[in-house]
Structure 1
């Protein structure tokens, strides 16, 4: 059973929903094994990664009604995130209000993130209170996300309040760090890094990249730099210093033309860098594989394997 669950979870992590469904069917029909709670975490995660609302809802019902597996917070979280990401925020909120346990900070952040991406007119202030109450870790992630939501809604006064709240509580933003391996050597870049021996070449090449991407239609998303208290030029400079951009530029400078670029990042890739990387893969005809905090992304020909669900 553990081996089947491991395979299902592995395929789910890579967004291979079809293979998850295939292995689930083989496990149940050929091996006559009963799926357990962990199995359905994998299946629902796969549906979530691919935005498969109908399939996710169906497997949730199968879990409860056919296999009598009692849903836990992870199962509800997958379904809520799936619905919210696909524009069904009202349904997601209905589940939040009806499930037998209190939602955690992860669920509230999922709803907040979905409302931000879809510009939904939700009560952000109330949702922010719920997140703050549920998240006892005082991590910077929730503050950064909240500031981005307010910035995307042009609520700059609230962005300032979030910044002040972080200062008052002594919360600092976790620095982004991306690594890339070239010729057996791992190179690590932090946001705004200037310590690498090729720093000058990297930043000069970033200028070239940005110029070519803007010709292809790239427009910076300033809501991704809400904690930068500057005009748009300053926010654009902040975006270009994100660690994955430095790693990708370094990779393009030092890899053969047909070699894929592999980057590992400690944080979730932001929306602007995700769009930026998709365009790089198209304009420079290169495959870029990125592992962020949430999942693998394979950028190729201007699109991403996550299908913009991450």
Structure 2
């Protein structure tokens, strides 16, 4: 039985014996209800207050206001506060303080500040309990009341409360949350105090948390070291702050040192929030083995524990492990929250696992998680990365609130799915809405310009990045522009773009240039320059060898093409194995080029032969041998995407779209063959390769416009 229920029972016994409760008994009962946040018991005591005619007593009403505020019934708390006659109300500092606290604790910091102003206007002087409350409100809304917070600081000094440890800790916290760490540190390190604030862990913790929020990880670590040198003992709130800072820095080595300190201090596995922060720190630093070990050692776990490990897996590309972890969590009976819902959707997006993503979408609707912007963003991304841009648009349209990530997810989704003009129209709507495009937004915009062949518009957007929005173009943006100019055959202009002062092309940029050379049969110095830069940047990467060999083949320089392939073999460079995935029902089938490990391999190979025979007879297909790595046309017949499409034709219902996901770029022979397969079989075939989506329609065309 809760203590608050026991209190109401004692009041009943008291009244049954003929004893009438006074304001002190009622105040004690209300304090217990407030501490337990037990609304029903508080309402019962409220009824007794009314019957006993203490409802106008400012001391008792202060207790009622506190109960209703703690139980998140601010309207009722305000009604009671307003009902107290002004002479009684204005003479009661406790009543004003609990009302200010109620507003601040219930997400209305501006309302708390206004009430504090009314309190001062009524001539009520704040004390050491009022100031921490109003300072917390100022900390929660820096944009709205930052100047007012500085005025409250002045009131603290004039009132002589700057020496109170609680008030000074609140000042440190306020300036820390504003990002003014110099002011916070000055308060911590200077001035007289009721006791030495340098030994107050609360104030140090506030400053540590401020450093973490401000992205000043190194400063937070230095502050932690200074704190320990000053003889201040770290507590259960110190460690999470410093671990969060180390996580943002990616410093696993320092994190292990702090972990040792935690164990020595006795704040081990029993403290769930510290364990959660350790799991999160290791996961963000990429040490998923230590994160899992810490996870397994924890005596108890909550949804935050699971979320920390799962999002760590998603962040570092272990999407299948993330889905397995989600299954373990469900088996353990742990209910997900909106943060985990967004994390698991990102795993579905990257694999992708469309069927599971749809189920999660339905679950999010049932549980109301779709109202969170992060979940909506993840759902838009999941559908876009599965090639279902219509579904992505429907999710986007019903979102009540959108941010820059929402717009960017759909802009990039449209661009990658070959709908460049729609992507650019959406970008226009984004700018009109007041949302500010960021670095990733412009990758989508320029990708859209590239795939739509809008050269002048692409140049205009590249220029506007820095001049209008203050976003410095990066390698990804230049790669899009090289791709755009390459589509138009303007290879020299694309090369000049790479010679801009202060810009250092990366592998993606050089690959874009080399790919454009391959398409246009430019096998001269430009292609060789790009290939050489790639040899230096990624000596074990087979892509530049393959692209240069293909460029030579396209130009009819067969001896040079053979020389490049021989060079590749002599250097021990191996082409990355091609894999393709297709989801049938609830099962994902994986295929490797020429692989025969699938249980239905015989059926699948027979279907491939049927496909090739039909597209030869009905579509005029002729194998394009120069895409073969070893010059053997036969090896092209059993590329992984052809095997996956054959599996789709065998297993999916008539008329269902065949969706295949590939780890490499689709080769030209498969691209031409699958266009004809879609036409001959009357089926939509969607291939997501390493660069973009290829939507092969029943008319025999592709969304990429045959340039990828």
TM beyond 0.5 = yes
Deviation at 1:99, TM superposition (A): 4.7
Distance in 1, matches of 2:544 and 2:576, equals: 11
Matching residue of 1:309 = 707
Secondary structure at the counterpart of residue 499 of structure 2: helix
Give structure 2 stretches of 5+ with no counterpart: 1-403
Matching residue of 1:263 = 660
Deviation per residue, 1:23-74 (Å, 9 max, x gap): 322332232x333333222211221233222321221233244334332222
Distance in 1, matches of 2:554 and 2:514, equals: 12
Deviation at 1:289, TM superposition (A): 1.1
Q: Which has the higher strand share?
A: 1
> Does the CA contact (< 8 Å) of 2:417 and 2:695 recur in 1?
no
Greater RCO structure (CA 8 Å; 6+ sep): 1
Matching residue of 2:649 = 252
Matching residue of 1:23 = 426
Distance in 2, matches of 1:198 and 1:37, equals: 45
Give structure 1 stretches of 5+ with no counterpart: 230-234
Matching residue of 2:570 = 168
Secondary structure at the counterpart of residue 21 of structure 1: helix
Larger Rg: 2
Deviation at 1:178, TM superposition (A): 0.9
Deviation at 1:105, TM superposition (A): 2.2
Distance in 2, matches of 1:172 and 1:125, equals: 20
Is residue 154 of structure 2 the alignment partner of residue 154 of structure 1? no
Secondary structure at the counterpart of residue 94 of structure 1: helix
Over the aligned positions, Cα root-mean-square deviation in angstroms equals: 2.0
> Does the CA contact (< 8 Å) of 1:77 and 1:107 recur in 2?
yes
Within 5 Å, give how 1:26-41 maps onto structure 2. 26-31=429-434, 33-41=435-443
Distance in 2, matches of 1:184 and 1:98, equals: 50
Distance in 2, matches of 1:64 and 1:146, equals: 34
* Structure 1 range deviating more: 280-289 or 94-103: 94-103
Matching residue of 2:530 = 127
Matching residue of 1:232 = none
Q: Say if 1:69 and 1:243 are closer, same or farther in 2 by CA, change over 3 A.
A: same
> Does the CA contact (< 8 Å) of 1:51 and 1:309 recur in 2?
no
- Runs of 4+ aligned residues of structure 1 deviating over 6 Å after TM superposition are none
Count of matched residue pairs: 302
Distance in 2, matches of 1:169 and 1:228, equals: 16
Deviation at 1:281, TM superposition (A): 0.6
Q: Which has the higher helix share?
A: 2
Deviation at 1:118, TM superposition (A): 1.6
Deviation per residue, 1:152-199 (Å, 9 max, x gap): 223232233222322232211111111112232221111001122222
Distance in 2, matches of 1:274 and 1:308, equals: 8
Deviation at 1:137, TM superposition (A): 5.0
Aligned residue among 603, 607, 616 for 1:214: 616
* Structure 1 range deviating more: 142-151 or 11-20: 11-20
Distance in 2, matches of 1:141 and 1:245, equals: 21
Distance in 1, matches of 2:666 and 2:418, equals: 16
Distance in 2, matches of 1:186 and 1:15, equals: 25
Aligned residue among 657, 661, 670 for 1:273: 670
